[in-house]
Amino acid sequence: MSSSPARFDRGHTDDLMTFLAASPSPYHAVANTAERLEKAGFEQVEETAAWDGTAGGKYVIRGGAIIAWYVPKDAAPHTPFRIIGAHTDSPNLRVKPRPDTGAHGWRQVAVELYGGTLLNTWLDRDLGLAGRLTLRDGSHVLANVDRPLLRVPQLAIHMDRQVNEGLKLDRQRHMQPIWGLGDDVREGDLIRFVAEEAGVAADDVAGWDLMVHALEAPAYLGRDRELLAGPRMDNLLSVHAGVAALAAVTAGAPLTHIPVLAAFDHEENGSESDTGAQGPLLGTVLERSVFARGGGYEDRARAFAGTVCLSSDTGHAVHPNYAERHDPTHHPRANGGPMLKVNVNQRYATDGSGRAVFAAACEKAGVPWQTFVSNNDMPCGTTIGPITAARHGIRTVDIGVAILSMHSARELCGAADPYLLANALTAFLTD
pLDDT at 431 over 80: no
Contact 103, 224 (CB under 8 A): no
Q: Which of 82, 51, 81, 78 is nearest to 298 (CA)?
A: 78
Return the number of other C-beta atoms located less than 10 Å from residue 98's C-beta.
10
Task: Categorize the per-residue pLDDT at 253 as very low, low, confident or very high, splitting at 50, 70 and 90.
Answer: confident
pLDDT at 3: 45
Structure confidence at residue 9 as a pLDDT band (50, 70, 90) = confident
Res. 25: pLDDT tops 50: yes
Strand, helix or coil at 158? helix
Residue 256 has pLDDT above 90, yes or no: yes
**305 pLDDT above the threshold of 90:** yes
**Is 70 exceeded by the pLDDT of residue 197?**
yes
Say whether pLDDT at 4 is over 80: no
Instruction: Give ∠ CA 401-276-214 in degrees, rounded to 5.
Output: 55
Q: pLDDT band at residue 2, thresholds of 50, 70 and 90?
A: very low
- Convert the pLDDT of each residue in 107-140 to its tens digit: 999 999 999 999 999 999 999 999 999 999 999 9
Which residues lie below 8 Å from residue 64, measured CB to CB, with a gap of 6+? 25, 26, 27, 29, 30, 88, 89, 265, 266, 275
Q: Is pLDDT at 366 greater than 80 in this prediction?
A: yes
How many Cα atoms sit within 13 Å of 102 on the Cβ side?
19
Per-residue confidence (pLDDT) for residue 54, from 0 to 100: 93
* Closest-CA residue to 67 (of 209, 249, 259, 210): 259
Q: Where are the alpha helices (DSSP H) in 214-310?
A: 233-250, 281-292, 297-305
What pLDDT is attached to residue 7?
Answer: 66
Cα(192)–Cα(170) distance, rounded to whole angstroms?
29
Helix axes 417-430, 352-365, angle to 10 degrees: 110
The secondary element (H helix, E strand) that includes residue 144 is: strand 140-150
The residue-averaged pLDDT of 197-221 equals 97
Percent of the chain surpassing pLDDT 90: 95
In DSSP notation, 374-413 reads B-TTS-----SHHHHHHHH--EEEEEE-EEESTTSSSEEE
Residue 102 has pLDDT above 80, yes or no: yes
Predicted confidence at residue 178, as pLDDT, reads 98
Output the pLDDT for position 8. Answer: 79
For range 284-288, the mean pLDDT: 98
Q: Tell me the β-bridge partners of 268.
A: none
| List of residues 6+ apart from 307 with CB closer than 8 A | 80, 81, 82, 83, 286, 394, 395
Would the pLDDT of 194 be above 50? Answer: yes
> What's the Cα-to-Cα distance from 76 to each of 71, 253, 293, 296, 305, rounded to whole Å?
10, 18, 7, 12, 15
Given a cut of 90, is residue 341 above it in pLDDT? yes
End-to-end CA distance of the chain: 26
Per DSSP, 123 falls in state B
pLDDT band at 1 (very low <50, low <70, confident <90, very high): very low
- Report whether 339 contacts 392 (CB < 8 A): no
- Which pLDDT does position 371 carry in this prediction? 97
* pLDDT greater than 90 at residue 185: no
Average pLDDT over all residues of the chain = 96
Considering all CA atoms of the chain, what is the largest pairwise distance in Å, rounded to the nearest integer? 72
Q: Say what the pTM is.
A: 0.96
Report which residue type is found at 292. Answer: A
CA 264 – CA 260 distance, rounded (Å): 13
Q: Output the pLDDT for position 399.
A: 98
**Average pLDDT over every residue of 24-47:** 98
Indicate the range of 1-15, 168-182, 333-347 predicted with least confidence.
Answer: 1-15
pLDDT score, position 252 = 79
Q: Which residues contact 99 (CB under 8 A, 6 or more apart)?
A: 109, 110, 111, 190, 191, 210
Pairing mode, strands 258-264 and 65-71: antiparallel
